Every structure is written in structure tokens, then in C-alpha cells.
């Protein structure tokens, strides 16, 4: 059911939802965090004009940003109308198919071997029916030494009220996708190394969010504890950016 729901998602969210997808990230309340995330990912990828495969691209904003940076990008999505929206987005941004192209297909079974320097799952792997197949598809698509970068929600996402509402209303998957699971599946697929890095949201919550300035406040204690944890070892349960090397 979830794959058919993904294909029907754009129609289900209506015209307002379509406009939101077309103008994302600027149409989203979390725009600043999205911009920080794509900026971090660009800094982790091989430099332009590397070839990048953008899985589950939706309306194409991540693909567009990467192409404007100078990458050669292929965006993929399972929904034909999302691909149409991404093509509209490409035209709106003055880009051509030699800079960014879009293909319709299932990222759990997409064909392609050794073509890309980098691949991205940006907030889409947690919608997969089978993350093992999706990560194996990414592994096959990468050149030796290529990088797979994921930006996914961690434990607790599936039980978040917004996730439950989305599953009930639209029939889509909203799964926990913690780093420990991504790394496990990546090592099983054949990746040889990994890094787990704090998601920009966690950095914002730790360093930028306004809080009580009393020296011994509970919030200050939690901040210090979280910063120490980030410095000592990666959080394998929470939202994170994961980098896997082929």
C-alpha cells in the first residue's frame, strides 16, 4: 500500500501542498534547518562537477540546489507527478537536462552500476518498505570510493503525532531510521567505512535555541551533557547525517 500511497501523495495534499513542494525549502517553517542540512551535505560530498544521485527527490529542491552548486545531478522519485513537478522546478530555476535530469522509478530496485560519485537519501529512506534494498541500490550505483549520505529521522519518528497523522491520512510509511540501522545495512551491502554526524537540528537545539542563562539551570546541564556526548561518540539512535564510503 505504501508505494501506491507515495505515488498518490502529491495529488492527496492538494494545491497548497503542491505549491509548498514546488517552493521548498523556502515555503517551509524549517527552511533555515533545511538550508543548513543541504549545506553540510554539500561540504561532505566530492567537489563539483561530481555526479550525484538524489534518491526520493520529490519536487526536486535538493537536486536543484546541488545542480546550482555545479554538480551533475540525477533526481529520482517513485511518483510520476512529483517528477513533473521537479521538471517544472528545473525550468523555473533556469537549469537544463545536462545539469540535472529526473527519472521515475523505485529506489529499492533502480538499475545502474558504478555511475555516480555520490548518492543522497534526504528525508526519504524512512519511507522505504525495505531499507536494505534501497541501500544496496545506492551501493551498486556508486563508483569505487563513492559516498552515500543519508539525512534521516532517528528513533521516535514513527510514534510522533505528525507521523501518525500522515500515515493515517495518506497511507505512507513513517519509520524510525536511526544511524545504527543505516550503518548496519550499509556494512551488509559492502560499504567499507562510515561517519555519523549530528544533524543540524540537534546542533540548533544545543547551541542556537534561546534558553535559561542561569549557570546551574536544568537546561544548561542538559546542554553540557549533550555537547559532551556529541564530542565523545556519535549518537546512533537520534536524527543524524550518516556518511557511508564504498
- Tell me how far apart the alpha carbons of residues 163 and 19 are, in angstroms, rounded to a whole number: 21
- The predicted pLDDT at position 4 comes to 92
pLDDT digits (tens, 9 = 90+) for 26-76: 999 999 999 999 999 999 999 999 999 999 999 999 999 999 999 999 999
Closest CA to 137 of 244, 19, 14, 3: 244
Lowest mean pLDDT among 5-14, 33-42, 212-221: 212-221
Predicted structure pTM score: 0.92
Cβ atoms 50, 119 nearer than 8 A: no
pLDDT digits (tens, 9 = 90+) for 150-175: 999 999 999 999 999 999 998 999 99
User: Does residue 227 register a pLDDT over 70?
Assistant: no
- Average pLDDT of every residue of the chain: 92
Amino acid at each position: 500500500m505504501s508505494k501506491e500511497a507515495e505515488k498518490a501523495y502529491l495529488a492527496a495534499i492538494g494545491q497548497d501542498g503542491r505549491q509548498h513542494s514546488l517552493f521548498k525549502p523556502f515555503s517551509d517553517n524549517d527552511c533555515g534547518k533545511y538550508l543548513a542540512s543541504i549545506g553540510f551535505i554539500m561540504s561532505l560530498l566530492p567537489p563539483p562537477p561530481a555526479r550525484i544521485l538524489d534518491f526520493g527527490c520529490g519536487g526536486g529542491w535538493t537536486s536543484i540546489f546541488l545542480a546550482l552548486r555545479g554538480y551533475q545531478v540525477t533526481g529520482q522519485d517513485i511518483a510520476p507527478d512529483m517528477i513533473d513537478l521537479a521538471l517544472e522546478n528545473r525550468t523555473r530555476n533556469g537549469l537544463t537536462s545536462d545539469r540535472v535530469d529526473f527519472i521515475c522509478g523505485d529506489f529499492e530496485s533502480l538499475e545502474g552500476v558504478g555511475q555516480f560519485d555520490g548518492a543522497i537519501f534526504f528525508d526519504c529512506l524512512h519511507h522505504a518498505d525495505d531499507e536494505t534494498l534501497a541501500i544496496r541500490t545506492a551501493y551498486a550505483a556508486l563508483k569505487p570510493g563513492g559516498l552515500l549520505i543519508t539525512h534521516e529521522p532517528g528513533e521516535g519518528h514513527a510514534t510522533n503525532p505528525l507521523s501518525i497523522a500522515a500515515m493515517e491520512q495518506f497511507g505512507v510509511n513513517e519509520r524510525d531510521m536511526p544511524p545504527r540501522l543505516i550503518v548496519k545495512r550499509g556494512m551488509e551491502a559492502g560499504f567499507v567505512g562510515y561517519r555519523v554526524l549530528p544533524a543540524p537540528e540537534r546542533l540548533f537545539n544545543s547551541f542556537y535555541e534561546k534558553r535559561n542563562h542561569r549557570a546551574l539551570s536544568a537546561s544548561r546541564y542538559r546542554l553540557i551533557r549533550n555537547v559532551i556526548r556529541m564530542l565523545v561518540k556519535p549518537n546512533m539512535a537520534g536524527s543524524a547525517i550518516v556518511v557511508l564510503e564504498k
